Chain A
Amino acid sequence: MLKSEIMQKFVSIVGQNRCKTSKEDLMTYSYDASILEFMPDAILFPISTEEVSQIMALASASNVFVTPRGSASGLGGECLAKKGGIILSFTQMNKILEINTENRYAIVEPGIIISDFQKAVEKVNLFYPPDPGSATVATMGGTVMMNAGGMRGIKYGVTRDYLLGMEIVLPSGEVMKTGTITTKDVTGYDLTRLICGSEGTLAMATKITVRLLPKPKARRTLLAIYDNIDDAGKTVAQIVAAGIIPATMELMDKTVIKAVEEAFHIGLPLDAAALLLIDVDGDADTVEKQSPLVADFCKGQGARNVRTSSSEEENVQLWTARRAAFGCIARLRPTCLIEDATVPVSHLVAAIKKVIEISDRNRVQVAVLAHAGDGNLHPLMLCDQRDKEEMVRVEKAMDEFVAYAMTIGGTLSGEHGIGINKAKYLPQQLSATSLRMQRALKKVFDPQGILNPGSFLEVCPQ
């Protein structure tokens, strides 16, 4: 619990209205999109860099834990007050400060929602490619701290690839700039990209500068239906090997198809074993040439049907449905744990087989969703967190799958982050030296350990 005189000082920074401490407030800031819950002692809503800086200065002077939070759509407890203390919610610091069309960059505050930002830049024919499934929920600040990936990763990369610079507030309260507004910049250590993906453990971003692309002139969505999930996986590997780079290649298995169709009624075939949702974008010419080529690859690998969307409206409908897949799954079982181990794309078919084999053996109901183009698997473990015995089996299946991904050169987490759920696996991928270096880095930024305490490095076995 926070001492009331310290609390008073925090209130004096943001005012009574932007400080919440009632039971219902604390409870609604105790969760994210995982099954974890931790109660904070207070929630503050800063609206300026100044306020964030003052809050941190006071927090370090009085040794108060602070955990930054965006929309809390994360899947591993990264933005939860794991050791209590203050939640710093950036949702009211959500303005677009500048969209520069001449130099193609934008500066935003951390609380803006990705899809709102994307709409704004698309109005002036620009394009911010990072496209996590949760784009209509997640904030720019949150996705920068998590280095979110998403569906367009195969062609456009991830959040880190668009980050030019930041204004950050250190745990001490000091304000610092990283990066620039130019696309090239090799001045000093690249702190921008170090902080990006740090899961909010090093510093907090108060301004974010991102690079933008010209908006692709055309796009087309292809929907390929398969009777065999292996064929879908093989198609992806072949397209990648052939040097074609679609904007997205999403794979859904029959369970996901069923849940999505139940929610959206968009005419997905319920008897299919899998489907691929592929976006081709670029100039009208390129799209015109590439989409039949991609369709041929699908058919050649045994797709029983390939449908090419006829309008942007249909594209949007299909992608809205894909975006909601995680939520749709809750129609089948109350709890869904989502894995995101990522494998080299040439191992995709084998990895999907392995997921199914491991789940069957542990009697865990699994649905497979994947950003297939970049080997980013999302096995969805369907369960009910109220059933303790089932949860043990689910955990065991996850352990086995992670161990498998390690043997084929994969990574623990492609885009969701480590949080506290996956921290126990860290030593399987990171050497003792690597972990020591990471801990040392944390110490440089946050010597008192007040920023986002209880995070992955602390939970990870020593």
Chain B
Amino acid sequence: MIPKILQEEVYNCIKCGICMNACPIYKQLNVEGASPRGKVQLIKKIQEGSFEATEGFRNLLYTCLLCETCTVNCPSGVRIDRLLKYMRADIVDEFGLPWQKKLFFNLMSSDRLLPFCMFWGRALGNPLLSLLPKNGKAGTIPYSKLPRLNSRTLLSQYPEIIPADKSQGRVLYFPGCATNYLFENVGHSVIKILKRMRIEVIIPKDQKCCGLPIFMSGARKMAIGNIMKNIGVFNRYGHVDAIIVDCATCGAAFKEEYVHILEEMGEDTEAAQKLHNKVMDISQYLTRVNLKKYLHHIKAHVTYHDPCHLVRSQKIKEEPRALLKQIPGLEFTEMAGADVCCGGGGTFQLDHPEISEGITRNKVQAIKETKANIVASGCPGCRLQINGNLGNEKIQVVHPIELLAKAME
């Protein structure tokens, strides 16, 4: 049953339809059921007991990027994304998860399994990856463009505490799975910049996956261990100025989702609320300090893509741009529709490559029109999706922080 705090939401939908043309999925399919308005109306019928969650409804529920564009555009203020996320949890409780997802999420939520698999993944996976057929694809991403695993996890490359001389501050750093296992240069960049700013960096060794991919699929009960563990870890170190994340998704999990999930499960939210107040995206944290004197000239042309989990979940829009614009010599061009979802949506692009492809095509077109040779974005999912769909374009895809670190060399 839909929790009390969300029950009135469906009645606030006046069916004006403004969400429809804002929804990247509806714009591809032009079918009402795929639109936010359609989904909200079906949830209303379920809540009122005149409709049961059919298989078709369950499919519609997962035909959604959870990009939150509908929610921020809804003039009536209906929290559409929260309704959809809750319904997914409800569905998983009743019908379970598909086996592939179950396997993957077990991996992400377990303590030992993940490092074990990472070891064998490195030893066997990386070489195997190059044996895959050249024209094969995972979702919309060609095998040849899948990232290789880091040679060592980021966490194993640094001590738990990196002290600072004449310390200017103390932060906790949460690299997240993508940086830890796949994109180590993002982590090196974050640490390098923080060190240069003379900030003490704590990297808890036992941090776990933020859990977002798990609970966004509806498997809240599987994710609750991750949520509780991370809340515990973050509270362990006494006062810190901020908890830094470099991943839009982890940030959204800590700032928004943890509180919502615990609230909807009827759990205490106080500790999660504290976490919410402390977490900062790296771009947010760095706009508070003056970096100018450290930055060298870089000759390149960059454009920026807004990840859903930054621009909508966390309302972070200007900060990453401000960072990039500080770098001397770096030309910045705004792309058309920078805040439109890239079409990746985590595992969405694996489940619905045909829808995803159409959305990403528009994004790639907007990037090409800027004539930039670099596209920066603070979300590993977006970077994978954009990079995987660039075809033969010679455009580099990076985290803004990597450019900043480069300018500090």
**Which residues of A line the B interface, CB within 8 A?**
20, 22-25, 27-29, 31-34, 45, 71-73, 89, 91-92, 94, 111, 113, 115-116, 134, 136-138, 262-263, 324-331, 334-336, 384, 386
- The interface residues of chain B lying within 8 Å CB-to-CB of A116 are 21
Instruction: Identify the closest chain B residue to A33 (Cβ).
Output: B15
B305 to chain A, nearest CB (A): 21
- The interface residues of chain A lying within 8 Å CB-to-CB of B78 are 330
Q: Check B54 for interface membership: any CB of A closer than 8 A.
A: yes
- The interface residues of chain A lying within 8 Å CB-to-CB of B35 are 28
**B51 pairs with A111, CB closer than 8 A:** no
**B17 pairs with A24, CB closer than 8 A:** no
- The interface residues of chain B lying within 8 Å CB-to-CB of A27 are 41-42, 45, 51
- The interface residues of chain A lying within 8 Å CB-to-CB of B57 are 24
A358 to chain B, nearest CB (A): 23
Q: Total A-B pairs in contact (CB under 8 Å)?
A: 108
- The interface residues of chain A lying within 8 Å CB-to-CB of B277 are none
B28 to chain A, nearest CB (A): 11
- The interface residues of chain B lying within 8 Å CB-to-CB of A25 are 31-33, 56
Extra 13 A-B pairs, beta carbons < 8 Å, given A73-B16, A263-B76: A20-B31, A22-B54, A23-B51, A24-B42, A24-B51, A32-B15, A45-B31, A73-B17, A115-B21, A137-B20, A327-B16, A327-B75, A331-B75
Q: Assuming A71-B20, A334-B11, is B54 touching A24 (CB within 8 A)?
A: yes
- The interface residues of chain A lying within 8 Å CB-to-CB of B77 are 262-263, 330-331
Q: Check B60 for interface membership: any CB of A closer than 8 A.
A: yes
Q: Check B401 for interface membership: any CB of A closer than 8 A.
A: no
- The interface residues of chain A lying within 8 Å CB-to-CB of B12 are 330-331, 334
- The interface residues of chain B lying within 8 Å CB-to-CB of A334 are 8, 11-12
Q: Check B14 for interface membership: any CB of A closer than 8 A.
A: yes
A33 to B20, CA, bound (A): 12
A262 to B76, CA, bound (A): 10
A91 to chain B, nearest CB (A): 4
Q: Check B353 for interface membership: any CB of A closer than 8 A.
A: no
A384 to B54, CA, bound (A): 29
**B13 pairs with A330, CB closer than 8 A:** yes
B154-174 contacts to A, CB under 8 A, are none
- The interface residues of chain A lying within 8 Å CB-to-CB of B75 are 263, 324-328, 330-331
- The interface residues of chain B lying within 8 Å CB-to-CB of A34 are 15
* Max chain B Cβ within 10 angstroms of own Cβ: one of A23, A28, A73, A115: A28
Q: Check B235 for interface membership: any CB of A closer than 8 A.
A: no
Q: Check B327 for interface membership: any CB of A closer than 8 A.
A: no
Q: Check B18 for interface membership: any CB of A closer than 8 A.
A: yes
A24 to B45, CA, bound (A): 10
* Max chain B Cβ within 10 angstroms of own Cβ: one of A24, A262, A329: A24
**B17 pairs with A134, CB closer than 8 A:** yes
**A24 pairs with B16, CB closer than 8 A:** no
Can you list 26 A-B pairs with a CB-CB distance of less than 8 A?
A: A24-B42, A24-B51, A24-B56, A24-B60, A25-B56, A27-B41, A27-B45, A28-B32, A28-B35, A28-B41, A33-B14, A72-B15, A73-B16, A89-B30, A89-B32, A91-B30, A136-B18, A137-B21, A263-B75, A263-B76, A326-B16, A327-B74, A327-B76, A330-B75, A330-B76, A330-B78
Q: Check B38 for interface membership: any CB of A closer than 8 A.
A: yes
Q: Assuming A22-B56, A32-B15, A137-B18, is B38 touching A331 (CB within 8 A)?
A: no
**Which residues of B line the A interface, CB within 8 A?**
8, 11-18, 20-22, 30-33, 35, 38, 41-42, 45, 51, 54, 56-57, 60, 74-78
**B14 pairs with A71, CB closer than 8 A:** no
A147 to chain B, nearest CB (A): 19
A18 to chain B, nearest CB (A): 9
**B54 pairs with A23, CB closer than 8 A:** yes
A111 to B45, CA, bound (A): 28
**B18 pairs with A324, CB closer than 8 A:** yes
A89 to B38, CA, bound (A): 15
A36 to chain B, nearest CB (A): 10
**A136 pairs with B41, CB closer than 8 A:** no
- The interface residues of chain B lying within 8 Å CB-to-CB of A136 are 18, 21-22
From A29, A327, A330, A384, B32 is in contact (CB under 8 Å) with A29
A136 to chain B, nearest CB (A): 5
A64 to B264, CA, bound (A): 47
- The interface residues of chain A lying within 8 Å CB-to-CB of B18 are 134, 136-137, 324, 327
From B17, B33, B51, A71 is in contact (CB under 8 Å) with B17
From A45, A111, A115, A137, B16 is in contact (CB under 8 Å) with A137
- The interface residues of chain B lying within 8 Å CB-to-CB of A22 are 54, 56
Q: Assuming A24-B42, A28-B33, A28-B42, is B14 touching A326 (CB within 8 A)?
A: yes
**B56 pairs with A72, CB closer than 8 A:** no
**B33 pairs with A24, CB closer than 8 A:** yes
- The interface residues of chain B lying within 8 Å CB-to-CB of A328 are 75-76
- The interface residues of chain A lying within 8 Å CB-to-CB of B51 are 23-24, 27
B36 to chain A, nearest CB (A): 11
B83 to chain A, nearest CB (A): 15
- The interface residues of chain B lying within 8 Å CB-to-CB of A92 are 30
**A33 pairs with B54, CB closer than 8 A:** no
A331 to B78, CA, bound (A): 9
- The interface residues of chain A lying within 8 Å CB-to-CB of B45 are 27
Instruction: Identify the closest chain B residue to A87 (Cβ).
Output: B32
- The interface residues of chain B lying within 8 Å CB-to-CB of A263 are 75-77
B78 to chain A, nearest CB (A): 8
**B74 pairs with A72, CB closer than 8 A:** no
B242 to chain A, nearest CB (A): 26
- The interface residues of chain A lying within 8 Å CB-to-CB of B22 are 136
A288 to B33, CA, bound (A): 48
Instruction: Identify the closest chain B residue to A25 (Cβ).
Output: B33
- The interface residues of chain A lying within 8 Å CB-to-CB of B38 are 28
A380 to B33, CA, bound (A): 28
- The interface residues of chain A lying within 8 Å CB-to-CB of B60 are 24
Instruction: Identify the closest chain B residue to A334 (Cβ).
Output: B11
10 smallest CB-CB distances across A and B, nearest first, come from: A327-B75, A330-B76, A324-B75, A137-B17, A28-B38, A91-B30, A334-B11, A330-B14, A28-B32, A327-B16
Instruction: Identify the closest chain A residue to B73 (Cβ).
Output: A324
- The interface residues of chain B lying within 8 Å CB-to-CB of A330 are 12-14, 75-78
**B21 pairs with A31, CB closer than 8 A:** no
Q: Assuming A24-B42, A113-B21, A331-B76, is B32 touching A33 (CB within 8 A)?
A: no
A45 to B33, CA, bound (A): 13
A65 to B379, CA, bound (A): 50
- The interface residues of chain A lying within 8 Å CB-to-CB of B41 are 27-28, 31
* Max chain B Cβ within 10 angstroms of own Cβ: one of A71, A113, A330: A330
Instruction: Identify the closest chain B residue to A336 (Cβ).
Output: B14
- The interface residues of chain B lying within 8 Å CB-to-CB of A31 are 15, 41
A336 to B16, CA, bound (A): 11
A330 to B9, CA, bound (A): 10
A119 to chain B, nearest CB (A): 11
A23 to B55, CA, bound (A): 10
